[in-house]
Structure 1
Amino acid sequence: MLGTSPPGASRQTSGGYRELFAQDRDAPHWAVDYARRLADRHPPERRVLIQTSMSPTGYFHIGNFRDTVCAHLVHRALARLGRRSAILLSFDDYDPVRESQAARDPELADCAGRPLAARRERAARICRAYVAELRAVGILPPDADADGHTPPGSHWRTHYQRDRYLAGEYETLQRRYQRDAGRLARLLGRADGDGRDLFAVYCLQCGRNTTEIHRLDARAARYRCLSCGAALTARFPGDVKPSWALDWTLRVAHERIDCEPAGQDHCSAGSTMDRTRPLYEDYLRTPQPVIVPYGLVRTEHGDGKISGSRGGGPYVRDLLAVFPAPLVLWLYARRNCLSDLRLGFGRALFLGAYDEFDRFVRRAGADDRARTLWELLTDEPYADRAALPGMRSVLGALYAHGCDRDAALRELLRRHPEADRELLSARTGHALAWLALHGDPPYGEPEPAAPAGAAVGELAARLAGPSGPGSRPGARPMSREECREIYRALLGADHGPRLDTLAEVFTPRALADALTAYRDRGERPLRERMQTALDDARREAGRLTAVDDPDPAPPRPARTEPAPPRPACTGPGPAPADDPRESRHAR
């Protein structure tokens, strides 16, 4: 018989939730530590299942992404140990829309209390955008479709909870939970009550979960809706949504989930991961999954977190616009999962990330821990990336060549013949994208046009003179003031790339024409060409990071035969007569 102390109190005294944060610091990487725990817990023939789940309240940002990266790294660590595993991506689109979400999102304006999947197109668009990002970063298998579904036997599965609930996937366990609601409440530390408040019915009439359950058993839930006033009985368990704590344990038990990452706020004393331990041990008679707790992802400045539920970005696609996929994964894997991360696109963080990543790649050939981490990130050989010039050199080449990507790449290949051309081209593209999206203007803000000095006309004449296109701008040494005069005419700045380099990139004739245009009309066509290159890079990055699919995939087919959604209703009235689910409900 249960005593007066909350279930699990003795466990908390002897360590309790603190065990969630225990780690073997001698392991070569934290993902290897969690993989070893799973390998020790389960027999060799078992395929370990790791879940990563999230609700499509908005587009998934780089804070949400940490959950999936943790699952991915543990999956790869298990493979290094010779163990089979799979990842289950669960989109919790059967969670209710909160009032605050409905107030700020026009697409959800009339959906407060209804499932997120009540707006199917919106939910599908958000989930597909994340699936596409996982594919681009190399986490999703290439044979997955636009919704993340894969052929049988794949190491990846994607579930949409609205489909799972309405298809009756959890019906047997749901009825058991409804029958034992009072016992579940006590196991969760609620000394009073019969557990009815652990469930909410999506009203059969208006579709909202603003309901009071008056009677609950394994067969049905009798309720009254506070929104439309209906007093009905829900007999199909798919209409009765358990609270988050019960929903999680139900899915863990049904899917046989062995491991799940979770934010530290879900792992603290009194949190879901802590309170549900007695339910696993005393009710389900199975160990709680191995939890991988992770810290917050914070903004570039201050203590604000990106990993809130409001969405708003930045997104994984924003990282991929300026970083290669292995570096994106490394940003999350380089620190202990318990540590907070600070990610952003300012100059210091951007250059610092590339500097540290390049040092890490060069260490992978000699340092065991670095090599272990590299193998968790990718199957690529590290030697090819170790030969690349640093990002500072790449930005310098772009600066020196007027932001012309091809010219900068040619110069970099000349100076670094050992570098892989494809990888160096990609790094140059990432550098140009960063300049276009996040960097300051390469040559500063242009100064207002002023009357051209004598040096402008003299150099223009020499570049266009009898010596022809081969004429070099440095035929006569120029004073410091004359150089400033030339750069103001070309770029609107006191300094810039070497003039002979500009002549090689744009031709001496183009340089002469640019100087003449400034002298005669106050125009700076060369700077405009450089700005056009940045604008093109910005548009290309925007195309790659766009969230709206201009050619959306057709609506996903149901994996089973879930019941069709109930038409929305804003007031009391009879259920639609043509609803095929009506036979399952009784008033």
Structure 2
Amino acid sequence: MSHWALDYARRLADRHPQHHRILIQTSMSPTGYFHVGNFRDTVCAHLVHRALGRMGRRSAVLLSFDDYDPVRESQAARETELAGCGGRPLAERRERAERICRTYLAELREMGILPAEADADGRTPPGSDWETHYQYERYRAGEYREIQRRYQRDAARLATLLRKDDGRDLFAVYCLQCGRNTTEIHRLDEHAARYRCLSCGAELTARDPADVKPSWALDWTLRVAHEGIDCEPAGQDHCSAGSTMDRTRAVYVGYLGSPQPVIVPYGLVRGERGGGKISGSLGGGPYVRDLLAVHPVPLVLWLYARRNCLSDLRLGFGPGAFLGAYDEFDRFVRAVPGDGRARTLWDLLTDERPDGYGTLPRMRSVVGALYAHGCAAEAARRRLVALHPGADRILLDERIGHALAWLTGYGRGRYWPAAGDGPPGPAVGLLIEQLRVHTGTGAPRADRTREDFREIYGALFGTEHGPRLDTLADVFGPAVLADALEAYRDRGERPLRERVPARSDRARQEAPSRAS
């Protein structure tokens, strides 16, 4: 079909009767803040959900936070907030887990993926096409008790299906004494698990299935059977020979008596350069909020949806990646009215009309206008409106905001290269005198050398170069420019640099995330 999401939607529609509500799960473990790689899982679920809607089929997305997974010992040793929690459920550090999950849900809300009626924890009223589950909560509430007892009873049979030697290895008990899952199960049946804890030495019997956590392979099949999950995206590494998706087919066919859910395999998300994938364990980020700071929602979704889901993606914020993405997106939007495949993709991305985006100036022009006007957004806007009178004003303001965030953050090194803090020379003093008596447009004329300009921009912004002095004088006024030069000469201050933000919101948002 004209898009991969429609292919998977058709497979699901053919498998289930018309009245059936198709449930698509996207799941992730809050070991750290969810980055743009994790987001691909949710985007795939969202696009298949949208495709089913286009076919007139009922469907819903289930976001499952796997906060009943244990904290890795290496992570507990590395993070102060998780100190002493190795082997315990992630949700036991409730404030941390809640903060991570709520941050991601807020990003999904801004993306238009999380419904407006959902609360801060992603919970929605009955009948919504969105559900959010927290596995710690569901296990502890006994939601899976009945099927867990069956799994414990048939552990030997399940081990054979999963090509394991011992069914006890398919489970781990969270110790009743110390709370860690570093346990050896000595005896297991449907009613109890007798174990020895390798951390505290306790030898106890767990009788509540909520304390007996199945391995990931079993946990997945258990939830699919209990919730009625019909579809799930998964990274290609989970779909290869010998992977979870491969090995569990035998459980579905030979034990549950039902087909495995339709799997939507997707490729890796890589950085702008290099071959490595974006990984939370390698320092986190970038995050969905980073993309939203510099791109509109349809463009972010387009970045994920434009290629086959099996293809790897490269995402970055350098000049080439940023400006190139806008150039390609603008060409795509212009093609929507007359290209059936482009129109199909647009309808999967958003319910907005594409018309307004086609009126906008190129992002290169917007960045250029902002830079030329010293990042004074209103002055740049007047210039852009004069050059593009037909531009949609709301979308133009949005594009200016994204350009400003990029120019003062990711693009700062290119457009505002740092200079030293040496003492001002004669060029600064001369320009101050000229500005004090200047009455015309632009900046006062003088035979300035390259070194003179470097000295002037160093005093104004701490950079080696900057926007034309004529434009700066028109935007800020000769008196303001003279005051700024005097502030640096007399006190070492650069007041105009505060008008050109030194850091984007990304830097502030990243601080807690990188710590995790």
> Which residue of 2 is the match for residue 501 of structure 1?
471
Quickly say closer, same or farther: Cα 1:487–1:409, change in 2 above 3 A. farther
Q: Quick check: 209-218 or 481-490, which moved more? A: 481-490
> Which residue of 1 is the match for residue 131 of structure 2?
157
Q: Distance in 2 between matches of 1:310 and 1:445?
A: 28
Report the alpha carbon displacement of residue 510 of structure 1 after superposing the two structures with TM: 2.8
- The answer to whether residue 183 in structure 2 is matched with residue 217 in structure 1 is no
Quickly say closer, same or farther: Cα 1:115–1:486, change in 2 above 3 A. closer
> Which residue of 2 is the match for residue 405 of structure 1?
377
Name the aligned partner's letter for residue 472 of structure 1.
T
> 1:290-328: per-residue Cα shift (whole Å, max 9, x none)?
001111111222111114556621111111111112111
Q: Distance in 2 between matches of 1:473 and 1:58?
A: 51
Normalized per residue, which structure has more helix? 2
Report the alpha carbon displacement of residue 498 of structure 1 after superposing the two structures with TM: 3.6
Q: Map of 1:561-580 to 2, 5 A cutoff?
A: none
Given that residues 485 and 494 in structure 1 are in contact (C-alpha distance below 8 angstroms), is that contact kept between their aligned partners in structure 2? no
Q: Map of 1:68-83 to 2, 5 A cutoff?
A: 68-83=42-57
Q: Distance in 1 between matches of 2:222 and 2:46?
A: 23
> Which residue of 2 is the match for residue 445 of structure 1?
418
> Which residue of 1 is the match for residue 386 of structure 2?
414
Q: Quick check: 322-331 or 49-58, which moved more? A: 322-331
Given that residues 279 and 285 in structure 2 are in contact (C-alpha distance below 8 angstroms), is that contact kept between their aligned partners in structure 1? no
Name the aligned partner's letter for residue 442 of structure 1.
Y
> Which residue of 2 is the match for residue 24 of structure 1?
none
Quickly say closer, same or farther: Cα 1:198–1:379, change in 2 above 3 A. same
> 1:96-138: per-residue Cα shift (whole Å, max 9, x none)?
1121121111222211111111211111111111111111111
> Which residue of 1 is the match for residue 452 of structure 2?
485
Name the aligned partner's letter for residue 48 of structure 1.
I
> Which residue of 2 is the match for residue 472 of structure 1?
441
- Structure 2 SS opposite 1:63: helix
Q: Distance in 2 between matches of 1:95 and 1:474?
A: 64
Which of 298, 302, 311 is equivalent to 2:270?
Answer: 298
Q: Distance in 2 between matches of 1:200 and 1:381?
A: 52
Report the alpha carbon displacement of residue 496 of structure 1 after superposing the two structures with TM: 4.2
Given that residues 456 and 485 in structure 1 are in contact (C-alpha distance below 8 angstroms), is that contact kept between their aligned partners in structure 2? no
Q: Distance in 2 between matches of 1:261 and 1:531?
A: 46
- The answer to whether residue 287 in structure 2 is matched with residue 315 in structure 1 is yes
Given that residues 129 and 547 in structure 1 are in contact (C-alpha distance below 8 angstroms), is that contact kept between their aligned partners in structure 2? no
> 1:482-517: per-residue Cα shift (whole Å, max 9, x none)?
586356425567764344322221123334555667
Quickly say closer, same or farther: Cα 1:463–1:204, change in 2 above 3 A. closer
Q: Distance in 2 between matches of 1:227 and 1:511?
A: 67
Name the aligned partner's letter for residue 84 of structure 1.
R
Q: Distance in 1 between matches of 2:396 and 2:305?
A: 24
Q: Which has the larger radius of gyration?
A: 1
Q: Distance in 1 between matches of 2:116 and 2:32?
A: 25
- The answer to whether residue 62 in structure 2 is matched with residue 88 in structure 1 is yes
> 1:15-35: per-residue Cα shift (whole Å, max 9, x none)?
xxxxxxxxxxxx111111111
- The answer to whether residue 153 in structure 2 is matched with residue 179 in structure 1 is yes
Name the aligned partner's letter for residue 474 of structure 2.
E
- Structure 1 SS opposite 2:213: strand
- Structure 1 SS opposite 2:194: strand
Given that residues 322 and 434 in structure 1 are in contact (C-alpha distance below 8 angstroms), is that contact kept between their aligned partners in structure 2? yes
Q: Which runs of 5+ in 2 are unaligned?
A: none
Q: Which runs of 5+ in 1 are unaligned?
A: 1-26, 549-587
Name the aligned partner's letter for residue 95 of structure 1.
D
> Which residue of 2 is the match for residue 424 of structure 1?
396
Q: Distance in 2 between matches of 1:310 and 1:474?
A: 49
- The answer to whether residue 115 in structure 2 is matched with residue 141 in structure 1 is yes
- The answer to whether residue 503 in structure 2 is matched with residue 534 in structure 1 is no
Q: Distance in 2 between matches of 1:415 and 1:524?
A: 38
- Structure 1 SS opposite 2:37: coil
Which of 406, 411, 415 is equivalent to 1:434?
Answer: 406
Name the aligned partner's letter for residue 127 of structure 1.
C
Report the alpha carbon displacement of residue 540 of structure 1 after superposing the two structures with TM: 4.7
- Structure 2 SS opposite 1:232: strand
Q: Distance in 2 between matches of 1:81 and 1:113?
A: 45
Given that residues 419 and 464 in structure 2 are in contact (C-alpha distance below 8 angstroms), is that contact kept between their aligned partners in structure 1? no
Which of 237, 251, 259 is equivalent to 2:223?
Answer: 251
Q: Distance in 2 between matches of 1:120 and 1:489?
A: 53
Q: Distance in 1 between matches of 2:287 and 2:307?
A: 20
Name the aligned partner's letter for residue 168 of structure 2.
R
Quickly say closer, same or farther: Cα 1:443–1:541, change in 2 above 3 A. closer
Name the aligned partner's letter for residue 504 of structure 1.
D
> Which residue of 1 is the match for residue 162 of structure 2?
188
Question: What percentage of aligned pairs have identical amino acids?
Answer: 69
